[in-house]
Amino acid sequence: MKIILTSLTLVFFIEAGICQQHWTYQECAKYAIEHNLELNNTYLLVEQQKAYSRNAKNSLLPNIGAGIDYNLSQGRSVDPNTNTYVENRFFQNNYGISGTMNLFGGFQKQNRIAFEKYNLASEEEAYKMRENDLNYQVLEAYINLLVDQGLIEIIEEQYQISQRELERISKFIELGRVSGTERYDVEARLANDEFLLLKQKNQAELSALQLKKLMNIHADSTILVEDIDLFEQIDFEISADSLFQYAKKHLPRIKTLTNKLEAAEKQVAMARSNLYPTLDLNAQYGTGLSDNFLDQNAEVIPYGEQFKNNQSIRYGLSLQIPIFYAFSRRNQIQLSKIAKEQATNNYRIGLQNLEYEVSQVKLEWNAAVSEYLSAVKKEQSEEKALEVAVKKREKGLISVMEFYEARNNLAVAKAEILRTRLQAFLKERTLTFYLTGNLLE
């Protein structure tokens, strides 16, 4: 029981340590890659394909087998000495080893090795592609959580402003400087701010839950994330064609399609090799002994002498020439050619989609930066407008509704800065991914 309690305590402190640390988006993505169960299934497909590749290489090795048998004859049986029927009881013990090696098979095995090699490369790139997808999902969930947390801070600021305004109005009512009806308007605003704050906190919990799900962290744990700054603009003055060439070179998705096309070509070669003859080398060694092997004196020949004298070796070549198999082999060639055409078409579709994607990513990046810079200017204007509104409100020159309009405009401007800043960061990471094939660094 003491050991169990100690283990549970250790697990608790490890979990608590994980939950209390501040996570960067790179750390979240790395943890997700190590613990995400769906990604682990993709890794198992890679390991499975490695086994197929090893089997293809091992097929070049000869097949060798050995056997031993012990037979006890009783009643009427064939005498191994005279090949005549006898009635006595005797045993036979035989030993043998045989081997077969393919000398020529139309290069089918060599083509299969290449076929499995490209399949393995395709699965490895598919794993990287799934890694990248997971990295993007984690980064997107991370940014969503930051946005929701940032909105909580903005709404809390508005809530505090409403509280201060309520305190100010209450004092003015006591002094008889304003009517009591204004208090109702401020209280209604304060209640609305409280509702929005509670709603936004719930949304942040949902965003945190989505991030924890991707990372495979316990749902009841607490995760703390660090804010990220928008990088200084990288020189993305690059032509669409150059960006397309970089993406074509680095993206695992395109590499996967390339390897599948190469594998399809080898599959055609494998199908054609079935039309060629095959040549095999065969060899066999055997010996045996029995208590019914007798010498001239009708005594059992010593087993060691039997083992030596009964040895036999056979070897030879076997040539198989395909003549007619109901057109099945030619049909297989036709099917493999169709599969190659499909792989070629998929490759072209992938490149076509990529061409549009890189153009869209560039446009989205430029738009995100423009929106962010515009939001910064708008926030500065709204801050000045709120400062003026506060002074006018203190002097009673504007109504409470005009004051709250200025306050809300600043809150909207701050929310837009938060959204556009993190959105620009995400677009920047996406564009960098198309350039380098790496989303996180």
Please report how many Cα atoms fall inside a 13 Å half-sphere around the Cα of residue 31, on the Cβ side. Answer: 18
Distance from CA of residue 302 to its chain's centroid? Answer: 67
**In which residue are the tokens 């962290």 written?**
217
- pLDDT of the residue at 82: 62
- pLDDT of the residue at 239: 80
Helix or strand run (H / E) with residue 278: strand 278-290
Fold of the CATH domain 23-61+105-276+322-436: Outer membrane efflux proteins (OEP) (1.20.1600)
**Residue-by-residue DSSP string for 171-224:** HHHHHTSS-THHHHHHHHHHHHHHHHHHHHHHHHHHHHHHHHHHHT--TTS--E
pTM as predicted = 0.79
pLDDT > 90 in the chain, percent:
52
Domain boundaries, the chain: 23-61+105-276+322-436, 65-104+278-321
Which residue did the predictor score with more confidence, 427 or 18? 427
Helix or strand run (H / E) with residue 97: strand 90-104
Parallel/antiparallel/unpaired status of strands 85-86 and 224-225: unpaired
- pLDDT of the residue at 120: 95
CA 175, 176, 180, 182 torsion: positive or negative?
negative
Q: Dmax of the chain from CA atoms? A: 143
Q: What is the distance between the alpha carbons of residues 133 and 428, in angstroms, rounded to a whole number?
A: 16
**Does the pLDDT at position 232 exceed 60?**
no
Q: pLDDT for 260-307, tens place per residue?
A: 999 999 999 999 988 889 999 999 999 988 877 777 777 788 888 888
Q: What is the distance between the alpha carbons of residues 202 and 9, in angstroms, rounded to a whole number?
A: 30
**Does the pLDDT at position 87 exceed 60?**
yes
Relative orientation angle of helices 108-175 and 181-215, to the nearest 10 degrees: 160
- pLDDT of the residue at 294: 74
Token pair belonging to 277 = 């003859």
